[in-house]
């Protein structure tokens, strides 16, 4: 069996689910537009530059989850899926996932975005396995803090190895391992798998992929 790993934001999605979740909450009047947007854009620029302080970002990103009851958040997310996420899923992205599914591969989305935002998106793709940054919960409600290792940069490797170890596996347990990503932040994991694929890549990743002879594709 082969293992097919997919980044989510700007890879399987034609956009960033985390950034757009903040935009959605602003439109719903649940976040201060001016304050939130400025900070969100700042973090996004840091992410693209490769110097994001992941813990500072998560303090910012997860705080809104702690300010609403879980049933309210779930209702908001259903609306967010319909209005924002489904239009960001291209036919090419769905076709790529289906190609690996038809091949009998084990499918996984591995993303830095928190699992509350990304869980329903993985289900939309019919992908059961998700590694996302885990928001801490107490009695079913979010605290605004992170639980465990954020799945960002080398944290994706840590979380993936933990997931595999729970199954008494390693990457070598699979005939071939794939990883599709748009971002140079994912280079640590891309260098670890058998078949890294750059998808609509940023400039840094595109340059690295071309010099390393990795495939460069577009799902847009």
The domain defined by 3-217 folds into Rossmann fold (3.40.50)
Rounded CA-CA distance 75/208 in Å is 41
| R_g of the chain, CA atoms, integer Å | 17
Rounded CA-CA distance 8/132 in Å is 10
Partners of 39 in the β-ladder: none
- Check residue 47 and give its pLDDT: 85
What's the pLDDT tens digit per position in 100-158?
999 999 999 999 999 999 999 999 999 999 999 999 999 999 999 999 999 999 999 99
Q: What is the pTM of this model?
A: 0.95
- Check residue 32 and give its pLDDT: 86
Cα–Cα–Cα angle for 159, 164, 166, rounded to 5 degrees = 95
Q: Catalytic: 7?
A: yes
Tokens of 179: 């990883």
Q: What's the half-sphere exposure (Cβ side, CA atoms, 13 Å) at 2?
A: 16
Catalytic residue, chosen from 9, 18, 105, 186, is 9
- Check residue 123 and give its pLDDT: 98
Please name which of 160, 178, 173, 142 lies closest in space to residue 59, comparing C-alpha atoms. Answer: 142
- Check residue 99 and give its pLDDT: 98
- Check residue 35 and give its pLDDT: 82
Rounded CA-CA distance 141/98 in Å is 34
To the nearest 10°, the Cα dihedral for 46, 131, 151, 117?
40
- Check residue 48 and give its pLDDT: 82
Q: What CA–CA distances, in Å, run from 46 to 28, 56, 185, 217?
A: 26, 11, 11, 25
State how beta strands 129-138 and 3-6 pair. unpaired
Long-range contacts from 119-122, C-beta under 8 angstroms, 24+ separation: 120/77, 120/78, 120/81, 120/85, 121/8, 121/13, 121/17, 121/81, 121/85, 122/8
- Check residue 111 and give its pLDDT: 98
What is the sign of the dihedral through the CA atoms of 86, 89, 91 and 96?
negative
Rounded CA-CA distance 9/1 in Å is 26
CB 66 within 8 A of CB 109: no
Below-70 pLDDT ranges, the chain: none
């Amino acid at each position: 069996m082969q293992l097919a790993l997919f980044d989510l934001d700007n890879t399987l999605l034609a956009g960033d689910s985390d950034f757009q979740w903040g935009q959605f909450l602003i439109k719903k009047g649940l976040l201060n537009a001016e304050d939130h947007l400025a900070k969100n854009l700042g973090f996004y620029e840091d992410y693209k530059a490769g110097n994001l302080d992941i813990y500072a970002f998560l303090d910012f990103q997860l705080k809104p989850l702690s300010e609403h009851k879980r049933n309210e958040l779930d209702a908001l997310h259903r609306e967010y899926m319909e209005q924002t996420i489904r239009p960001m899923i291209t036919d090419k992205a769905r076709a790529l996932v289906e190609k690996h599914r038809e091949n009998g591969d084990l499918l996984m989305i591995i993303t830095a975005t928190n699992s509350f935002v990304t869980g329903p998106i993985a289900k939309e793709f019919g992908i059961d396995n998700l590694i996302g940054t885990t928001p801490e919960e107490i009695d079913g409600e979010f605290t605004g803090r992170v639980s465990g290792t954020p799945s960002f940069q080398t944290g994706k490797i840590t979380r993936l190895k933990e997931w595999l170890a729970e199954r008494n596996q390693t990457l070598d347990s699979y005939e071939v391992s794939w990883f599709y990503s748009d971002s140079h932040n994912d280079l640590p994991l891309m260098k670890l798998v058998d078949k890294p694929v750059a998808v609509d890549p940023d400039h840094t990743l595109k340059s690295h992929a071309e010099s390393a002879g990795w495939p460069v594709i577009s799902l847009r």
